[in-house]
């Protein structure tokens, strides 16, 4: 059995991480994958108009995005520790793009049997406009079971 657990730093994803570790610890799990998808479109919302940017402002924005990516990668490092502390072998995936699409893509490409994710990582108005990642994964994952954790 291969488990893919999705993390985004939210409390929901931390609970999903713990549940995946419990499952991996109690079952014969061959492999655990931990995925974090960096949704760069959220960085783009910080800029209101692109046409009036100076070269210096573009460079500042690029630096801000790179710094944000590095912070996001730390989420994976922390998640990996959860499995290492239990002596469970795990590997990480850092992808950029639409979270649900990337999660499903990795699950399919790497032939994960189960996807574990929080029931939601977004809240309020953001969730209405961006849609629910967990709902999309549940609907679109064809070859993997999906466990959503509240």
Q: Tell me: the pLDDT tens digits for 15-66?
A: 999 999 999 998 888 899 999 998 866 555 555 555 667 788 878 888 888 8
Q: 126 pLDDT band (50/70/90 cuts)?
A: very low
Fold category of 2-149 in CATH = Rossmann fold (3.40.50)
> Could you give the residue ranges of the DSSP H alpha helices within 8-149?
11-26, 41-44, 55-84, 99-109, 124-130, 133-140
How far apart CA 49 and CA 141 sit, in angstroms, is 36
Average pLDDT over residues 98-110: 96
């Amino acid at each position: 059995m291969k488990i893919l657990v999705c993390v985004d730093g939210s409390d929901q994803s931390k609970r999903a991480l713990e549940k995946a570790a419990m499952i991996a610890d109690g079952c014969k799990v061959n492999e655990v994958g931990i995925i974090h998808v960096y949704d760069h479109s959220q960085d783009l919302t910080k800029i209101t108009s692109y046409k009036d940017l100076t070269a210096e402002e573009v460079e500042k924005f690029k630096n801000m995005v790179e710094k944000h990516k590095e912070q996001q990668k730390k989420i994976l490092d922390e998640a990996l520790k959860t499995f290492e502390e239990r002596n469970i072998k795990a590997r990480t995936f850092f992808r950029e793009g639409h979270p649900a699409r990337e999660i499903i893509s990795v699950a399919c490409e790497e032939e994960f049997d189960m996807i574990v994710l929080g029931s939601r990582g977004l809240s309020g108005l953001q969730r209405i406009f961006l849609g629910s990642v967990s709902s999309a994964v549940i609907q679109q994952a064809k070859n993997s079971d999906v466990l959503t954790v509240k």
